Structure 1
Amino acid sequence: METRRNQLITFHPDTLHAVRTACELETPGRMDEAIDLLQEWTLKQPHFVKKMYPRIYLEAILISTKGSVEIAKRRIDKMCTMRTFSPQLFDKTDAKKDLMELHDIIKTVNLPKLTEDHYRISLIKPTGKPMPLHYNHLDFFKFSIILAEHIKLYDYCQGFVIVMDHRDASIMDFATKTNLFELQNIISLLTEGYGIRMKGLHILSPSKFVDTLVAIFKQVFSAKLASRIHVHKKVETLYEYLPKTLLPKDLGGDERSISTLYDEWLQELSTEDHINYMRMMREACTDEKLRLKDHFDENIGLSGTFRALAFD
């Protein structure tokens, strides 16, 4: 796990063992064996444009599937297929320069410390600045993809606890500019493609319209994920789930402010190395003329799904 370390995230001493144990891959050599099997499979796929992947990337895929090589195969194929049919979702590679309008509207950061059970907290904070009429959250989705690719290379955790701090922003402004079709597809991309496992979604807002936001999420989440939504009228009730030591000072915690963390993440996601990596991963798509058609629906389950995407 040493190769995964960077200055923005930390781990517990037993994180590697705990996460691999949850996947039943803790026995010495088991993880390497699973990675080898997955890499051998990608090399044999005629429709994959990119066939070689970093081992740490393949390990992250396996962690997201709880050690299942077969599910990992389908997950990689889903991601490659998405890049083919919706390349516009992956056209940004520099989080700082390519998505400048986003920075004043909404800030997303992964917090430095893991929970005791090895989950990463991801904090999403709309700033309260009115969204432009033309804004449709597509930039936010693209930022999420850049961050998700970083997670695959550097993070090591059981999953994520999402906190949406809506105290300073209009929920109705957010709701009226949300396209359910886009939201559903990006959630599918993050959960089924990148394998982001959500332990809980905590919405912090005193607004009487918070039920509107919950209703939106329940339309696009599975029943299982919808059951993990929690609403907090006051920040104090959030501490029943997450200790203050892990939260930024904006939420009464001990960590650096959201603004400071966001600036640090922008620097991290806009390094030359990560930009080049994002450009390389854009090539991880498919040549559908070479796909074994009789296996498309059976193994991927995406026929028609990605073809139906129509982002502006």
Structure 2
Amino acid sequence: MIHVLPSDTKYLSALRMSLGAATAEDVAFVRKQLGTTEQNIQQAVSSLRNWLNLQPHLPKNIDDRRLERMFINCKCSMERVKTSLDAYFSLKKKFPELLMNRDPEDADIKKAKDFIKTFSTSPLTTDGLRVTCTLDVAADPQCYDPLLCYKLILMWTEVLLAEDYSLGDIIILDLKDFTASHVLKTSVSLVRSVEIIFKEAYCRRIKAVHLVNSPKVLDAILNIAKAALSDKLKQRVITHLPGTETLFDYVPRELVPDELGGSAGTAEKLYDAAWKKLSSYRAFFLEQDNYVTDESRRPPGSRNMSDLYGVEGSFRKLAID
């Protein structure tokens, strides 16, 4: 077991507040599990940088730490990283509503900040997974904008691409205030788009999605919503009824916020720390809109990554027969 929570409360508090930032222990553990070394990674990053410099249609403005994490997230597959690098820059054009204009000071983003609380907890699970939680979804469906919420979640994913070092993700979504109206405001194509971006552009591997405080009345609606997911991800969605503690059969309490019965700290404090970290990336987010693919310079025979994914750009709402 590589991660043991220490009894020292000050150390534990600092660890929790790291919110997805990799520790030396995380790096060593993940590299060991993947059978790679510092030398292998340096060689891979150098090779990827050389490859990127030879791609006339791709921007060069991605730092080495992101290249390293994409290499790790892709299980050290160079070809997989190359595909993801193309997706990282080209999917901005396909999904600008989600991947462009991401200023944390923007009025819409600040509005989304009040719709949900999204943050990751630390340390990793014993098998090297990162836990990310979303709570306090706006109780009034009229105030809930799923597009803005997903945009904010993807902004946090961008932060994780810079700071995290893990073998995959466990996602916890609190449905305490969710109603059928919330679900029906979300489009099939939006859910599919987010899954594609998460997997292809950010190379994240979702190992489990836990829907907590999920009332039985929502089961039928949620089954429709899950139809938007890939077959593999559908099998990884687990629901937990209100008042039960089945979540802790899968996720350690120390990685779950207090409101859900865990001991990681309050969602308010964890989210406040996450928002401060995300806001510190403002200059980065503002700059990133400049870096998209130049399709006029794409080499012959190179497939347009924006067209590879069969998701319509206009987001249609879920339809119920």
TM-score (ref. length: structure 2): 0.85
Alignment check: 8 A CA contact 1:111 1:246 kept: yes
What's the counterpart of residue 151 of structure 1? Answer: 160
d(CA) in 1 for partners of 2:134 and 2:216?
A: 20
Does residue 125 of the first structure (1) align with residue 132 of the second (2)?
no
Alignment of 1:233-312 (within 5 A): 233=241, 234-271=243-280, 274-296=281-303, 300=305, 302-303=306-307, 305=309, 308-310=312-314
| Matched positions, count | 299
d(CA) in 2 for partners of 1:11 and 1:268?
A: 14
The DSSP-based 3-state class of the residue aligned with 2:303 is helix
Does residue 109 of the first structure (1) align with residue 116 of the second (2)?
no
d(CA) in 1 for partners of 2:311 and 2:205?
A: 25
Alignment check: 8 A CA contact 1:123 1:163 kept: yes
What's the counterpart of residue 32 of structure 2? Answer: 21
d(CA) in 1 for partners of 2:222 and 2:258?
A: 26
Residues 178, 72 of structure 1: alpha-carbon distance in 2 compared, 3 angstrom cutoff: same
Instruction: Encode CA deviations 1:18-61: one digit per residue, 9 max, x unaligned.
Output: 212333323x410000111111111111111x214211010011
Q: Which amino acid aligns with 1:310?
A: S
Residues 206, 305 of structure 1: alpha-carbon distance in 2 compared, 3 angstrom cutoff: closer
d(CA) in 1 for partners of 2:145 and 2:138?
A: 16
Specify which of 225, 231, 249 is matched with residue 239 of structure 2: 231
Specify which of 213, 216, 233 is matched with residue 205 of structure 1: 213
Residues 13, 47 of structure 1: alpha-carbon distance in 2 compared, 3 angstrom cutoff: closer
Q: Which amino acid aligns with 2:198?
A: L
Shift of 1:280: 2.4
Q: Which amino acid aligns with 2:234?
A: A
The DSSP-based 3-state class of the residue aligned with 1:132 is helix
Shift of 1:219: 1.3
Shift of 1:108: 1.2
Alignment check: 8 A CA contact 1:141 1:186 kept: yes
d(CA) in 2 for partners of 1:170 and 1:86?
A: 26
What's the counterpart of residue 3 of structure 2? Answer: none
TM-score (ref. length: structure 1): 0.87
Q: Which moved more, 1:88-97 or 1:250-259?
A: 88-97
Does residue 191 of the first structure (1) align with residue 217 of the second (2)?
no
5+ residue gaps, structure 1, are: none
